[in-house]
Structure 1
Amino acid sequence: MNQAKAYLSSGNYKKALENYAAAVDRHPGNEGLLGAYTEALESINEKADKAYEAKDYAKAGELYHILLKSGFGKRPLPRALSFDTDYLAMRIGACSKMLMELGIMQYRAGDLEQAIEVWKKILVFNPSDREAKTAIDRATVQLQNLKQMN
Structure 2
Amino acid sequence: MTKGLREKVFLLLGIFLSLSLSSCGWLAREQTQRQMGHAAMQAQIELDAGKIQKAIDIQKEIYQKYPQDPTVRSGYIKTLESMKSSGDQAFERNDFALAGNIYEILAKNWSHFADFSQSLSFNRNFLEKKVRTSRCLYVEKQVRAHLETGDFQKALDIQEFFQKYSQDLTVRNGYIKTLESIKDRADQAFERNDFALAGCIYELLLKHISFATPLGRRLSWDREVLTKKIRSCKKILFENGLEQYRSGDLNKAISIWKSILAFDPENQEIKRTVDTTILQSKNLEKAK
Normalised TM-score (structure 1) = 0.89
1:60 equivalent in structure 2? 198
Residue 151 of structure 2 aligns with an amino acid whose one-letter code is: N
2:285 equivalent in structure 1? 147
Note the alpha carbon deviations across 1:80-123, whole angstroms, 9 max, x for none: 21111111111111100000000000000111110000000001
Aligned partner (choices 99, 104, 107) of residue 237 of structure 2: 99
Is 1:69 the equivalent of 2:197?
A: no
Change in 2 beyond 3 A, CA 1:139/1:125: same
Structure 1, unpaired ranges of 5+: none
Structure 2, unpaired ranges of 5+: 1-138
2:276 equivalent in structure 1? 138
Instruction: State how far apart, in whole Å, the 1-side matches of 2:210 and 2:145 are.
Output: 19
Residue 3 of structure 1 aligns with an amino acid whose one-letter code is: Q
Instruction: State how far apart, in whole Å, the 1-side matches of 2:217 and 2:284 are.
Output: 56
2:164 equivalent in structure 1? 26
Contact kept, 8 Å, 1:14 with 1:70, in 2: the verdict is: no
Contact kept, 8 Å, 1:24 with 1:34, in 2: the verdict is: yes
SS of residue matched to 1:73? coil
Change in 2 beyond 3 A, CA 1:96/1:78: closer
Residue 95 of structure 1 aligns with an amino acid whose one-letter code is: C
SS of residue matched to 2:225? helix
Note the 1:40-55 alignment, pairs <5 A: 40-55=178-193
Q: How many residues align?
A: 149
Q: CA deviation at 1:78?
A: 8.5
Percent identity, please.
38
Contact kept, 8 Å, 1:48 with 1:64, in 2: the verdict is: yes
Is 1:84 the equivalent of 2:222?
A: yes
Which of 1 and 2 has higher RCO (CA within 8 Å, sep 6+)? Answer: 1
Note the 1:116-135 alignment, pairs <5 A: 116-135=254-273
Instruction: State how far apart, in whole Å, the 2-side matches of 1:64 and 1:83 are.
Output: 11
Is 1:115 the equivalent of 2:253?
A: yes
Is 1:39 the equivalent of 2:177?
A: yes
1:14 equivalent in structure 2? 153
Residue 271 of structure 2 aligns with an amino acid whose one-letter code is: K
Instruction: State how far apart, in whole Å, the 2-side matches of 1:111 and 1:94 are.
Output: 23
Normalised TM-score (structure 2) = 0.49
Instruction: State how far apart, in whole Å, the 2-side matches of 1:65 and 1:54 are.
Output: 18
Instruction: State how far apart, in whole Å, the 2-side matches of 1:116 and 1:71 are.
Output: 31
Contact kept, 8 Å, 1:92 with 1:126, in 2: the verdict is: no
